[in-house]
Amino acid sequence: MNSSLSRDSQVKIMEGTVNNAEKYLGQFCLLLASYTRKNARLRDKVDLLIKQIMDFANTENPEMRRCLKDFGEEMSKIQDYRQAEVERLDAKVIGPLKEYGRLTKSKRGDIKKFNSVRNREMKELENLQKLKQRNPSDRQGISLAEANVQKASVDVNHTTHQLEEIIFKFQQQKLKDIKAIFSNFVTVEMIFHSKALEMYTNAFQHLNNFDEEKDMAAFRSKICISEFENDARPSQSHSSSSLQPSPGSQLRTPPRVLHAHFQEDESDDEEEEEDEVEELQDLSDDGYQQYAKIRK
Amino acid sequence: MNSSLSRDSQVKIMEGTVNNAEKYLGQFCLLLASYTRKNARLRDKVDLLIKQIMDFANTENPEMRRCLKDFGEEMSKIQDYRQAEVERLDAKVIGPLKEYGRLTKSKRGDIKKFNSVRNREMKELENLQKLKQRNPSDRQGISLAEANVQKASVDVNHTTHQLEEIIFKFQQQKLKDIKAIFSNFVTVEMIFHSKALEMYTNAFQHLNNFDEEKDMAAFRSKICISEFENDARPSQSHSSSSLQPSPGSQLRTPPRVLHAHFQEDESDDEEEEEDEVEELQDLSDDGYQQYAKIRK
């Protein structure tokens, strides 16, 4: 029975190899798909932020407007790279990992086939034992049973060779694939991070170029009419017209209450989390609650 | 009435400045808090992935085991930097933005105060008009009413000056803060991206160093007993013992079905999205469904 024991161990190792591949590569697939999806949501969230930055830019004076729009455009480019990251992760990481579902299923089939061949050998061995016990003088029957055992053993040997070959190749391919898939992952991430770094460098420059003095001069000319009033209160039609908000300005539209944007924000993001909805309700009571949940 | 009209415009611009700051900085705060939270979830997701990589490493032969552990450690360092990113965003971006809730509320109070002073002036002007119509010969009454108008006008002028100063300073601070907050955001992101780039470079190197041949030799010695069997089938106790999985190997533990990990995965991440739960149910039917939702 040593042969059976060692073969038991051998098959268990093979089964373990296939089962662990199925389990862990399945987990990698699941978690990396979730990681990719969360990145897509980050992108959506920043897209919403950019939209608000652009809208806000339109309410500001030319200097700040330009600064915010340049900043927003760099942010937007980063989201394009994030989108490329999401697509590449899907094609070069999730796709190949998904293949392992099909692959491990097929290998399990091979092991099952082997087990049935081996069970036949065990059965033939049992038959032989029984025959020897019950009818030790039946030479012909015993010979036949021994021949059957021999045949089944040959089958098992043959199938063992085949299975070893199959599992060996499977493991070889698995090692190559794991290396390739994680290398793909790292490469995709590196491209994204280096591009993001480049765009953020530009974004920082745009913020740095902002001329506050110039912007404040424009603002002063808009809101400070008191000098005119003191000097020439009777005739003010010119200053009155200069106070009209510029076209595209949203100064005259009644500001929507915060709660309204939150609802809009939410309908835009169909995958918003439940807890976020609760937070938004809190926000309607106090627009500036603590809503950044971070690690304890 | 020109004076009133231009003052109307002036106050509307001031109100617009405060309301837009409240609205948009509130939105920035909300969206960046959500962005930060989503980054924290990305970190959690990669933490789970690392856990699985480490568990998987323990089921593999020494070469792959070392490769995966080195890879996992670099990934883990990136999550530490992501954690620092989350904390910095909270302190340097979300915190200062939250301040604007309190600030804009106080500015709205100033505008309200100004409006009540201006309304008193309007009322005094109305009184004077009525008196002039009803009793044009009441010189004394008209004089008194004119004095009241004069006094109210002086108050309005004074409050106008004050309000201009307040809103001017508010705008100046707002411009400085927006520049500083977005610069902080960019700096925090740049630090994270550059650190991630560094760690991914190391991770790539670890994957590149993996010696597949050596690992396969170890695997072959584990699973290939058929050579022994063919040559020396009767005595195999040595190969049998060599087939025992090494300590720490999980080969003998029955592999948990995928569905079970998915549930575990979910309970780990208390903020998981509803749609993900649905996907997980699909996965229990077919472990490798298409579950990467990406942008259309």
Q: Output the six-digit token pair for A154.
A: 């040959």
Nearest CA in chain B to A200: B186
Q: How far apart are CA A34 and CA A226, in angstroms?
A: 59
Closest CB to A86: pick one of B171, B288, B295. B295
DSSP state of A286: S
B292–A37 CB contact, under 8 Å? yes
Dump pLDDT digits (tens) for A8-17.
888 899 999 9
Q: Does the structure's ipTM exceed the value 0.90?
A: no
pLDDT value at residue B225? 58
How far apart, in whole angstroms, are the C-alpha atoms of residue A217 and residue A144? 109
DSSP H helical segments within chain B, as ranges? 2-20, 26-59, 62-89, 95-134, 139-208, 212-223, 226-232, 237-242, 258-268, 274-285
Q: In this complex, which of A27, A236, A274 lies closest to B6 when CB atoms are compared?
A: A236
Per-residue pLDDT of chain B (296 residues; tens, 9 = 90+): 456 667 788 889 999 999 999 999 999 999 999 999 999 999 999 999 999 999 999 999 999 999 999 999 999 999 999 999 999 999 999 999 999 999 999 999 999 999 999 999 999 999 999 999 999 999 999 999 999 999 999 999 999 999 999 999 999 999 999 999 999 999 999 999 999 999 999 999 999 999 999 999 999 888 775 554 443 333 333 333 333 333 333 322 333 233 333 233 333 333 444 344 334 333 333 334 333 333 33
List the Cα angle A195/B73/B253 in 5-degree steps: 125
> Rounded to the nearest 5°, which phi and psi values hold at A58?
-70, -15
Which pLDDT score, from 0 to 100, does residue A222 have? 83
H helix or E strand, kind and range, residue A169: helix A139-208
Chain A, nearest residue to B289 by Cα: A98
- Cα angle value B58/A111/A156 (rounded, 5°): 120
According to the per-residue pLDDT averaged within each range, which of A145-159, A217-231, A246-260, B269-283 is highest?
Answer: A145-159
Q: Which residue shows structure tokens 């491209």?
A: A191
In chain A, the residue whose alpha carbon lies closest to the alpha carbon of B40 is A294
Q: Do B37 and A237 touch (CB under 8 A)?
A: no
Residue A15 and residue A21: Cα distance in Å, rounded? 10
* Mean pLDDT of the residues in chain A: 80
Q: Are A189 and A85 in contact (CB under 8 A)?
A: yes
Distances (CA, A) of A218 to A137, B7, B24, B171: 116, 18, 20, 11
Under the banding of pLDDT at 50, 70 and 90, the label for residue A225 is: low
DSSP letter, residue B25: I
pLDDT band for position A251 (50/70/90)? very low
Determine the Cα–Cα distance for residues B86 and B94; give it in Å rounded to an integer: 10
pLDDT at site A6: 79
Q: CA of B289, closest CA in chain A: separation in Å?
A: 8
Q: Is the pLDDT of residue A247 over 50?
A: no
Secondary structure (DSSP) of A55-82: HHHTTS-HHHHHHHHHHHHHHHHHHHHH
Interchain contact, A9 vs B240, CB within 8 Å: yes
Closest CB to A190 among B12, B23, B200: B200
